[in-house]
Structures are given as structure tokens and as C-alpha cells.
Amino acid sequence: MTLVRYQNQLPSLFDRFFNNELEGWNRNNFSDTNTTLPSVNIKENTDTFEVEVAVPGFEKSDFNIELNNDILTISSEKQVNEEVKNDEKITKQEFSYQSFTRSFTLPELVDEEKISAKYENGILSISIPKKEEAKPKPVKQIEIK
């Protein structure tokens, strides 16, 4: 079972690559503010899915994580304004504004009530536990009578 469900079959993957993959790279890897989208790692073990988002330079208060109808959405908006002192003259100033939104479809067998997140060393980590029925069961020996 995977965290992100893909509807595409093999032929359409080839079609997508050869027809518009290079054209769509800009749309797929940049946000509306023309900043790159953060990279994401998704790991699965027997108990959980782990989502890691690389977002250095942010504060944990910069993030918004929502779950709505099995869609996990991670978003952030950050505007940096450098304060100018009275004796300074601005010759050039570039505003820094970053925003992104990443969404993931969760499988039905996750325990939505126990999802947790932490932000440490530039990595936003989201732990998505599986329900007990989704976890693999140990091998059971059947006694022969």
C-alpha cells in the first residue's frame, strides 16, 4: 500500500514523459510565487508512514497542516522584511516571500486521530500511523490434531 495513489498506467506514464514532462517541469516543481517546492521523502514501515519535507529557514509557526477527507495538505507562507535603520538609505531592496502547498491522498487504513508532526533542523516530519488492521500479522502456526 502506498501513501500517494497514482491512477496512471504504464502507457500513460510514457505518454506523459514524451509529450509534456519537460514542459510541465516548471509547473510541477515551482509554486505560484515562483519559488521551488520543497523536496519530500515518504517512508513506510510496518506501523507508520513518515513524510519528511525539506524546509530549512522556516519556523514551526510558519506551517499549516490540515487533514480534510483523506487529503493531507502541508502549506506555508513566509514573508521576510528586513528592518531599515534611520541612518540607512535603500539603494536596492528585494522582498522575500515564500509560499507552498503540498497535498497527499492518504490510504483508508491510516489512523487519522494519531497523526503527529515535528519540525527540527530544517525538516518537517509528519508521522502517519496505520490502523491495527493494516499492520502485517505474524505467522500463526496451526496445530494438527
Domain spans of the chain, in order of start: 10-134
Report the pLDDT value the prediction gives residue 121, as an integer from 0 to 100.
93
Q: With pLDDT > 70 as the criterion, what percentage of the chain qualifies? A: 65
Report the pLDDT value the prediction gives residue 57, as an integer from 0 to 100.
83
Residue 123 has pLDDT above 90, yes or no: yes
Residue 31 has pLDDT above 80, yes or no: no
Report the pLDDT value the prediction gives residue 42, as an integer from 0 to 100.
93
CA distance 116 to 97: 27
Tens digit of pLDDT for each residue in 78-121?
776 666 666 777 666 666 667 888 999 998 889 999 999 999 99
Report the pLDDT value the prediction gives residue 3, as an integer from 0 to 100.
58
CA distance 20 to 57: 33
Q: What is the mean pLDDT of the chain?
A: 76
State mean pLDDT over 49-62. 90
CATH architecture of 10-134: Sandwich (2.60)
Return the exposure string of 105-142: e unless at least 16 CB atoms fall within 10 Å of the residue's CB, then b: ebbeebeeeebeeebeeeebbbebbbeeeeeeeeeeee
